[in-house]
Amino acid sequence: MTERSALNGKDMTCEEFQRQLPELFESGVDLESAPHLRTCENCAALVRDLQYIAAQAKLLLPIKDPSPAVWQKIRRTLDDEQDKQGSAAGERP
């Protein structure tokens, strides 16, 4: 049986609608035009929340710094590598 499309399927159940939701979200269609949402407050709230979460996630900015120990280890490693390169160059005939 072919599943009805959430965008034109009338009298769709919550199960049918939510099964199509991942694909609908990523397709970029206007979900507010889905007939099911006009009559189902639960699914409408679900869609609103998921859209809200996705929108808020885009606003998350980098806010945390690594501890100073990270740079100290990087510095030490780079210095060691440079020393080894210098030694290797000095040993060459």
Partner 1 sequence: MEAADNIAPVPGKESLGNATAQGANQHVRRNPPIAGEAEAIAKAQSGDAQAFEILYSLHKRRGYSLCLRMLGNVAEAEDLTQEAFLQLFRKIGTFRGDSAFSTWLHRLAVNVVLMHLRKKGLPQISLEEALEPSQEDGPRKDLGARDLTLSGSLDRVTLERAVENLPPGYRLVFVLHDVEGYEHNEIAGMLECSIGNSKSQLHKARMKLRDLLRSGQRKEAAL
Among 1, 10, 28, 60, binds partner 1 (CB under 8 A): 60
Quick check: 87 binds partner 1 (CB under 8 A)? no
Quick check: 13 binds partner 1 (CB under 8 A)? yes
CA 59, chain centre distance (Å): 12
User: What token pair was written down for 52?
Assistant: 């809200």
12 class by beta-carbon count within 10 Å (0-12 exposed, 13-18 middle, 19+ buried): buried
Quick check: 23 binds partner 1 (CB under 8 A)? yes
User: What token pair was written down for 57?
Assistant: 């996630």
The residues binding partner 1 (CB under 8 A) are 13-15, 17-19, 21-23, 25-26, 41-42, 45-46, 48-50, 52-54, 56-67, 69-71, 73-75, 77-79, 81
